[in-house]
Amino acid sequence: MKFVIIGGGPAGVEAATHAARMGAEVVLIERDIVGGAANLWDCIPSKAMISTGAVLALTKRAEKMGLMPITAQIDLDSLKSRVSSITGRLAASKMALLKSQGVTIINGVGRMVSPTRIQVEAEDGIREIESDAVLLSTGSRPRIPDWAVVDGQRILSTRDAYPPPVIPEHLIVVGSGVTGVEFVHMFRSFGSKVSLIVSRQQVLPAKDPEVAAALEADFLESGVKLYKGARAIGLKQDVDGVSIECDDQRVISGSHVLFAIGSIPNSDSLGLDAAGVYVDRSGHIPVDHHCVTNLRNIYAAGDISGKLPLASVASMQGRKVAEHALGLDSRTHRHLDYEKAASAIFTEPEIADVGLAEAEAFALGRKIRVTKVPFAANARALIDGDSRGFVKIVSDPATGVVLGGSIVGHNAAELISVIALAVTAHLKVNDIVESVMVHPALAEALADAAE
Ligand SMILES: Cc1cc2nc3c(=O)[nH]c(=O)nc-3n(C[C@H](O)[C@H](O)[C@H](O)COP(=O)(O)OP(=O)(O)OC[C@H]3O[C@@H](n4cnc5c(N)ncnc54)[C@H](O)[C@@H]3O)c2cc1C
Ligand SMILES: NC(=O)c1ccc[n+]([C@@H]2O[C@H](COP(=O)([O-])OP(=O)(O)OC[C@H]3O[C@@H](n4cnc5c(N)ncnc54)[C@H](O)[C@@H]3O)[C@@H](O)[C@H]2O)c1
């Protein structure tokens, strides 16, 4: 079975290694970086920068931890090499894994020329490959408004900011989705003044309002300016900085601007017309629950599939695609349930959630039991000097089955795994209550919330 994959991000790499392990002859075509451009040029560098900011924030809390004051300053060159060494190591380990599984990696640009033929443009020329099954996993790139030209100096896309040439004195972030709020947090922790343009009345419009409110309160307390109900529609630049014009006539001036207004799927120039693959108006390729497109032998996974755009989801889709392409889906195969994917927002405090949200349950008219415990009384939170936030667990009042949960607070991204496992395995709140947790640990708040 010959399996050709265009795009070597989390979706493509996982599909490739999994299919090769199961005996397929796999060819992976990647034009930029094995490991994925959205993953290694956005997701990972943003988390690396946030982690550096967290250490900086920790030094500011030194006195509260019983230490003499500590001062730390950003070293842009060393920060840059830190980020590239992390992404370099991840890319190298993915390459090594693929090679060890016998995957043929082609560094080039792939496009479909028919439902079964793929053209590859590489440095050594153009060639065509015939395939039994094809995976389109070409990811996405940052969206830039048509009224702005990114210069990588003062006008930045996310990919210009790991780190930018200088730490902005006053950064204007346009867009208050997950990316926007992570950038607000990143640059406030580096000492920049930050203004956030929020097109709706709440940051993180898709999240639980209580969670969003906790983050907004923290932003405001640290001096972040929120411009709510404002849509950016224009940009002016002069020698000192930039001004963003909003549709409500407000003009926000700063030293730099960063666009965090979502992503565009990399489906143009993929030869979808030639192959007869259906693409929707947003450029995503619709798929069924096996990630099959409108053509039986062509799959789409990752950001291009228009499902939940997370690296974790892309990898799981890749795994499911490999199983289906090799005919193994009928064995102990579980469909990917997007509703049960855990996700986190790496702000401070961190925000993480999984499964059914309280607001969503109310909107559906579904009876739920919600239990909530703050970290304020948790011994580990007090020891670590950060007792902000809470754990909220949503369960079925009749059966006690855990349906979802959200956590705001230190290490929320790690802690949510317990609730994610409970949701996937249909565990009951009592299963959490009766697990003997480590003491003193933040996880004890999970057992308290489940009580
Ligand atoms: C700022 C930011 C932060 C994020 N943080 C997180 C996070 O914390 N956690 C999380 O789970 N997700 C995060 N994400 C989302 C995550 O990065 C993406 O969902 C994930 O990388 C998608 O994987 P993918 O395989 O679809 O695409 P990609 O990772 O983009 O990989 C696709 C690959 O296809 C290649 N390609 C494109 N066209 C062609 C072609 N014609 N021929 C050959 N190769 C081609 C590209 O070069 C790219 O390497 C973040 C995204 C952004 C923008
Ligand atoms: N920690 C993580 O896991 C992480 C981090 C970043 C991104 N992601 C993934 O990427 C997805 C997309 O997130 P995102 O934040 O990049 O995009 P998004 O589309 O969710 O948010 C973009 C926001 O920008 C706003 N916007 C658009 N044009 C605007 C304008 N002209 N002026 C003002 N606001 C404007 C939109 O209304 C929207 O609220 C997430 O849902 C998540 O799956 C995950």
Burial letters for 190-207: b for 16+ Cβ neighbours within 10 Å, e otherwise?
bebbbbbbbbeebbbeeb
Q: How far is the CA of 310 from the centre of ligand 1 (A)?
A: 8
Catalytic residues: 439
Ligand 2 site, residue 182, Cβ cutoff 6 A: yes
Which residues have any ligand 1 atom within 6 Å of their CB?
A: 6-12, 29-33, 36-39, 42-43, 46-47, 109-111, 137-139, 158, 179, 263, 266, 270, 302-304, 309-312, 314
Ligand of minimum distance to the alpha carbon of 261: 2
Closest Cα to atom 25 of ligand 2: 175
Q: How far is the CA of 385 from the centre of ligand 1 (A)?
A: 35
Radius of gyration for the chain, computed over Cα atoms and rounded to the nearest angstrom: 23
What is the pTM assigned to this prediction?
Answer: 0.97
**Side-chain half-sphere CA neighbours of 317 within 13 A:** 32
The minimum-distance atom of ligand 2 relative to the CA of 230 is: 33
Q: Residue 297, SS3?
A: coil
Give counts: helices (H), strands (E), the chain: 13, 22
**2-142+264-330 and 155-261 agree in CATH topology:** yes
Q: How far is the CA of 413 from the centre of ligand 1 (A)?
A: 20
Ligand of minimum distance to the alpha carbon of 203: 2
pLDDT computed for residue 206 by the predictor: 87
From 266, 326, 298, select the one nearest 115 (Cα to Cα).
298
Q: Could you tell me which residues come within 8 angstroms of residue 296 by beta carbon, excluding any fewer than 6 positions away? A: none
Closest Cα to atom 34 of ligand 2: 175
C-alpha triplet 257, 77, 32: angle, nearest 5°: 70
Residue 152 gets which letter from DSSP? S
List average pLDDT for each run of 10 residues in the chain, which is 451 residues long.
98 98 97 98 98 95 95 96 98 98 98 98 97 98 98 98 98 98 98 97 90 92 97 95 97 98 97 98 97 98 98 98 87 81 96 94 94 97 95 97 96 98 97 97 97 90
Ligand of minimum distance to the alpha carbon of 142: 1
Label the pairing between strands 298-300 and 133-136.
Answer: parallel
Residue numbering of the annotated binding site for FAD = 47, 110, 138-140, 303
Label the pairing between strands 256-259 and 155-157.
Answer: parallel
Cis upstream peptide for 142 (omega within 30°): no
Q: Tell me the CA end-to-end span of the chain in Å, nearest whole number.
A: 52
Unique residue bearing structure tokens 């370099």: 88
**The amino acid at 81:** S
pLDDT computed for residue 227 by the predictor: 98
Unique residue bearing structure tokens 């599939």: 305
Residue numbering of the annotated binding site = 47, 110, 138-140, 175-182, 262, 303
Q: How far is the CA of 168 from the centre of ligand 1 (A)?
A: 26
Q: Outline where 68-140 has alpha helix (H).
A: 76-100
Burial group, residue 125, by CB count within 10 angstroms (0-12, 13-18, 19+) = exposed
The topology under which CATH files domain 2-142+264-330 is FAD/NAD(P)-binding domain (3.50.50)
Ligand 2 site, residue 202, Cβ cutoff 6 A: no
Ligand 2 site, residue 352, Cβ cutoff 6 A: no
The topology under which CATH files domain 349-450 is Enolase-like; domain 1 (3.30.390)
Q: Residue 40, SS3?
A: helix
pLDDT computed for residue 210 by the predictor: 85
Architecture of domain 155-261 in CATH? 3-Layer(bba) Sandwich (3.50)
Q: Could you tell me which residues come within 8 angstroms of residue 28 by beta carbon, excluding any fewer than 6 positions away? A: 5, 8, 12, 13, 16, 34, 98, 103, 104, 105, 106
Q: Where are the domains of the chain?
A: 2-142+264-330, 155-261, 349-450
